[in-house]
Amino acid sequence: MTEPEPIWRAAIVGTGAIAHAHAEAIAAYPDAELVAVVDRDPEAAERFAERYGVPVAYDDLAELLAGAQLDVVHICTPPGVHATQAIAALEAGVHVVVEKPPARSLDELDAMLAAAERTGTQLAVVFQQRTGTAAAHVKRLLDEGELGRPLVATCQTLWYRDDAYFEVPWRGKWATEGGGPTLGHGIHQIDLLAWLLGSWSSVQGQLWRLGRETQTEDVSTAVVGFENGAVASVITSAVSPRETSSIRIDTERATVTVDHLYGHAHEHWRITPAPHVVAAEAGGWILPDREEASGHPPLVRAVYDALRSGQDLPPVAADAARSFEIVTAIYSSAATGRTVTPATLRDDADRRAALESPVIERRPGRA
């Protein structure tokens, strides 16, 4: 008689808003159990543990790693401590699922990936916009060439964050948040764009401070080229009252659009055939009958399935550095005035170590 697979033992570090999505995703996985939580605020840790029926709450990550038998740690803390916490868990032999942005800098992310390689563990970054049956369907159509060659794209993350949002002490500061909305918000749509279009080839970017009292930018603009020849206009904003997250990809044979805010389902996607495409062929592009929206549950399920079977990370969690490289290239281009390529990205030692970059400030009455 075959012995059942052991229950996957998970812990969450940081009990802020995004940690609830992780707790719910873990609960939705039939062979996993949330066995511990950590927060530097003991009362917050206890409240979170009580809400989700977690048996143990810690206020120190080192105590967790020393005292609990774990398979995976979910890191849901502010970006400033992601690298330190992830590396500690990886070196303890525990797999890591880390919220975006995975680090404050490319050097930090490289160190995290190196720790995973060195210890034989896996580092999965949460880019849940890659998930969902619609995104998988569109990726297949693009990869198999059914829509023809991608030509031009737009990628927009137009969100609204008021002054009170940036009053949280770690937000809007280079040292603690790592960057502005390009890193903290736009990286999701940038990641989905790059997941659909593949490897990038060039970036030209600018950073703007137009309406918020922050050290970082509140708007960025960029032109991103891809190895397949496509070119994309990318804009990220934290000052846009009518919020939207959208991607449009125009190919030789169709226009693909997804317009949503924080998550997408079939209703948010549209494939419009070019005039020369016959209806019978376009009918083969229809989204599948089975529908699953994007989100943390499908991401965690795919990651856990792979980890439990000893396989590499699935496509929805692989290539952790790709979108972070594009984001870093935007900051590097803004700082240096040059077009950044994969070959030159790591030549900018300052941006490789920290994303801090000059920001163009445009506000009436300001010098």
Domain 8-126, CATH homologous superfamily name and number: NAD(P)-binding Rossmann-like Domain (3.40.50.720)
Band of the pLDDT at 137, cuts 50, 70, 90?
A: very high
Q: Write out the CATH class of domain 132-293+321-361.
A: alpha beta
Is-above-0.75 flag for pTM? yes
* Tokens representing residue 162 in the block: 């008021």
Question: Residue 149's CB: how many other CB atoms inside 10 A?
Answer: 12
- pLDDT confidence of residue 304: 98
- pLDDT confidence of residue 1: 45
- pLDDT confidence of residue 3: 54
- pLDDT confidence of residue 363: 78
Give every CB contact of residue 325 below 8 A, 6+ residues apart in sequence: 106, 200, 342, 345
Q: What is the mean pLDDT of residues 297-306?
A: 98
**2 has pLDDT over 70:** no
- pLDDT confidence of residue 191: 97
Residue range(s) in the chain whose domain bears CATH number 3.30.360.10:
132-293+321-361
**367 has pLDDT over 80:** no
Residue range(s) in the chain whose domain bears CATH number 3.40.50.720:
8-126
Q: What is the mean pLDDT of residues 289-303?
A: 97
Band of the pLDDT at 207, cuts 50, 70, 90?
A: very high
Q: How far apart are CA 215 and CA 10, in angstroms?
A: 36
Give every CB contact of residue 273 below 8 A, 6+ residues apart in sequence: 253, 254, 279, 281, 282, 285
Q: What is the mean pLDDT of residues 163-183?
A: 95
| Percent of the residues in the chain that have a pLDDT greater than 70, as a whole number | 98
- pLDDT confidence of residue 324: 96
